[in-house]
């Protein structure tokens, strides 16, 4: 991944402002037609060079990194085009991680009104049993 990041940075194309401007419409179009796009492009994948040659919005760069290091396999590149993923898209897709709880300092607590408590998980630490 370090080589990929260095290669992208060395090209000097750090943030794709144009992609950010048209993101909402283009992303919606992709996800509205995702199955047809996957079917039409099944078996195609991107080369490392094609990822290096791009410029990215922040969340797209995360997707590209996942693809370059192999977390998103070549066979899944067609289902994960970086340019169509927003930060909320990363949050909502378990490919990019799962929230199982909170990291808190000793004696800390999560505010009762935190939206993640109600929306994403029912898992809670049992402080009487240390699993680590």
For the chain, the structural domain boundaries read: 2-96
CA atoms within 13 A on the CB side of 124: 8
Q: Flag whether pLDDT at 52 surpasses 80.
A: yes
CA distance 53 to 8: 7
How much is the mean pLDDT over the chain?
Answer: 84
Which of the two residues, 123 and 41, has the higher pLDDT score? 41
CA distance 23 to 27: 6
Write the pLDDT tens digit of every residue in 10-20.
988 778 888 88
Tokens 């419409």, residue?
Answer: 25
Q: What is the mean pLDDT of residues 44-68?
A: 94
Which of the two residues, 90 and 115, has the higher pLDDT score? 90
Query: Worst-scoring range by mean pLDDT, 9-18, 73-82, 112-121?
Result: 112-121
CA distance 73 to 98: 19
* pLDDT at site 131: 45
Rounded to 5 degrees, what are φ and ψ at 5? -60, -45
Rounded to 5 degrees, what are φ and ψ at 98? -125, 140
What's CA 98's distance to the chain center, in Å?
A: 12
Q: Report pTM.
A: 0.71
Q: What is the mean pLDDT of residues 29-44?
A: 94
- Contact (CB, 8 A) for 80 and 72: yes
């Amino acid at each position: 991944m370090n080589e990929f990041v260095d290669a992208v940075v060395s090209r000097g194309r750090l943030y794709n402002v144009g992609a950010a401007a048209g993101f909402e419409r283009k992303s919606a179009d992709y996800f509205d037609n995702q199955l047809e796009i996957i079917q039409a492009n099944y078996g195609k994948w991107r080369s490392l060079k094609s990822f290096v040659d791009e410029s990215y919005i922040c969340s797209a760069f995360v997707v590209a990194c996942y693809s370059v290091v192999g977390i998103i396999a070549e066979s899944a590149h067609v289902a994960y085009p970086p340019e169509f993923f927003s930060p909320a898209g990363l949050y909502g897709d378990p490919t990019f991680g799962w929230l199982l709880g909170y990291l808190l300092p000793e004696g800390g607590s999560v505010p009762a009104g935190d939206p993640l408590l109600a929306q994403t998980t029912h898992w809670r630490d049992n402080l009487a049993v240390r699993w680590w």
